[in-house]
Structure 1
């Protein structure tokens, strides 16, 4: 008998505050948002995710899934909980973070806005596998977007307040949108 390949292997390691995140029903989810961690490695992304940033709820910012450079999948927040990963869309969205340096460590410096690290083939393969699995298990999932598509806020650059930079640029110019869109049956949000 061949193994069931419909669900990719996912290491579930919930954040300490997961149960304090707002609950939701799975039929509310219609959007997958692709991010990059803009950090050097998965361990640092986990530490950032564990930080409590919201005093009232004692929760922080994180995605639901993280995909390391080797293609391993990690789930830090259950899908029936609203993770804080993109302004204005969290109740309807799944946050998927790909480990990538992005603009680290000078995220908002005017002279450091290039995002040159490529995503690994293993990451993209794992992402497609995850998205296909989510499409099968969540019939309401219809849309996909990049973080940069949904949060277009500009802020003063950290090294030159007279220059405005985009707050979020992920997943960035190295993300292979054409490859991913050809493999999944999701519509990109305008």
Structure 2
């Protein structure tokens, strides 16, 4: 049975203290010795970081969409340790893609990995980024419920970690010429459009008070 965690965060607007509670459904994907080993190899070979454990210090949040319409499909995609197919990614590593969070279309938040556990979701930035996947696609734009859930989740993460940056997967290229980008192969890049510029505009508007940056230059 999935476990649920209830969180309460407080937001000051402007002098009124409001309480927002929400639940996080725990739905962990496989984490075993093989996934740990492949993650450590990825950190070393792709990011140039030698570590004893496959952990991150979160400094940013990257928002995605899944390009499918089901949490279960996303779980089945992320759960295997090794990446099935996708030669454009397996050339860099056999480690499967994943993310720390997945948000369903009704706004339900699922946690697949711990916040500080390494996940492969954004080239060049995995070592410091928490990934939030949203069930949806270009044909099935993200919902208002997902917008609200992203806001609540990101507010709670900013309270726990030194997160200064938030960007959509579609925007990650802009960090290639900055010191935060860590990717051994300058030609290793994939084109992304998720989660859409409109969604990111709306999300930034809701999180304006946090002053999260989208660019490092």
Question: Is 2:36 aligned against 1:5?
Answer: no
Instruction: Return the alpha-carbon distance in structure 1 between the equivalents of residues 167 and 147 of structure 2.
Output: 15
Shift of 1:91: 0.5
Q: 1:63-92: CA deviations, max 9, x gaps?
A: 110000010000101112110001110001
| TM-score, scaled to structure 1 | 0.73
Instruction: Return the alpha-carbon distance in structure 2 between the equivalents of residues 70 and 4 of structure 1.
Output: 18
Instruction: Return the alpha-carbon distance in structure 1 between the equivalents of residues 193 and 82 of structure 2.
Output: 21
Instruction: Return the alpha-carbon distance in structure 2 between the equivalents of residues 71 and 18 of structure 1.
Output: 29
* Mapped contact 2:134–2:146 kept (Cα < 8 A): yes
Structure 1: runs of 5 or more not aligned? 103-114, 153-165
Q: 1:146-179: CA deviations, max 9, x gaps?
A: 1111158xxxxxxxxxxxxx6321112452x232
Q: CA RMSD for the aligned pairs?
A: 2.5
- What residue number does 2:29 align with? 15
Structure 2: runs of 5 or more not aligned? 1-5, 10-20, 41-53, 84-89, 175-189
- What residue number does 2:107 align with? 71
- Of 122-131 and 142-151, more deviation after overlay is shown by 142-151
* Mapped contact 2:30–2:80 kept (Cα < 8 A): no
- What residue number does 1:171 align with? 195
Instruction: Return the alpha-carbon distance in structure 1 between the equivalents of residues 157 and 76 of structure 2.
Output: 26
Change (3 A) 1:189 1:69: same
Runs of 4+ in 1 over 4 A off after TM superposition: none
Q: Indicate the SS of the match to 1:145.
A: strand
- What residue number does 2:78 align with? 49
Question: Is 2:123 aligned against 1:87?
Answer: yes
Question: Is 2:163 aligned against 1:141?
Answer: yes
* Mapped contact 1:8–1:133 kept (Cα < 8 A): no
Shift of 1:183: 2.2
Report how many residues are paired: 157
Change (3 A) 1:4 1:52: closer
Instruction: Return the alpha-carbon distance in structure 2 between the equivalents of residues 4 and 83 of structure 1.
Output: 23
Greater helix share, structure number: 2
| TM-score, scaled to structure 2 | 0.65
Change (3 A) 1:18 1:38: farther
* Mapped contact 1:35–1:170 kept (Cα < 8 A): yes
Instruction: Return the alpha-carbon distance in structure 1 between the equivalents of residues 7 and 193 of structure 2.
Output: 36
Instruction: Return the alpha-carbon distance in structure 1 between the equivalents of residues 201 and 173 of structure 2.
Output: 21
Which of 112, 118, 121 matches 2:141? Answer: 118
